[in-house]
Amino acid sequence: SALYLYSVFFILSDFNYYTPALKAAFLLVPLGIGMGFFFAPITNLALKNLGDKTTLGVSLMHYVRFVGGSFGTALATNDLQKFMAESYDRMVELQNYQRAWSFLETLTEWGGLTEEKAKYYLQSIQSLYALSDSFERTFFNAGYWALLGVIPILYLLYQSKKSLKPSMNERA
């Protein structure tokens, strides 16, 4: 989980829509490895004491994983849309009105576009930049959810270590 958290908070801190594909692939490799290291110990800790009910535990674990994956995907999509809308609104608020109209006039005069089509192009460009900004914030937010997910792991590790220590009666 440490590799996953390091990837989210430090390696992907400047990840956006315009990150080249090859660089994005290399940046996402530690994230994927970190996720693998995150889930394997959890599965081991959760299933090691089940005995003859291991099959039931594996089935339940798959169900929880699917539900958790759906929940995580929904959260990430919601965060991406929310952060995109916030970035777009902030971009439009800070925009110089005269420069925007000058750009639209240039598109209509020199580009041969109608005013509606020029406005559409400007809005599309602004939406793309807002989407780019929202990627970074979405990954960062996923890191916060991972920090929350570390709490049960630490509890399971604590319980596992506690059960390995012999009691005073067993030592005698």
pLDDT tens per residue across span 126-141 = 999 999 889 888 888 8
User: How many domains is the chain partitioned into structurally?
Assistant: 1
pLDDT tens per residue across span 44-78 = 777 777 888 888 888 888 888 888 888 888 888 99
> Which 8-state DSSP code applies to residue 13?
T
pLDDT tens per residue across span 37-46 = 777 777 777 7
pTM to 2 decimal places: 0.67
pLDDT at position 167, please? 55
pLDDT at position 107, please? 84
* Contact predicate 4/31, CB 8 Å: yes
Per residue in 30-46, is it b (16+ CB within 10 Å) or e — as a string?
bbeebeeebeeebeebb
pLDDT at position 151, please? 85
* Contact predicate 5/34, CB 8 Å: yes
pLDDT tens per residue across span 74-94 = 888 999 999 999 999 988 888
Identify the domain containing residue 92 by its residue range.
2-171
Q: How far apart are CA 145 and CA 141, in angstroms?
A: 7
* Contact predicate 3/33, CB 8 Å: yes
Q: How far apart are CA 166 and CA 94, in angstroms?
A: 65
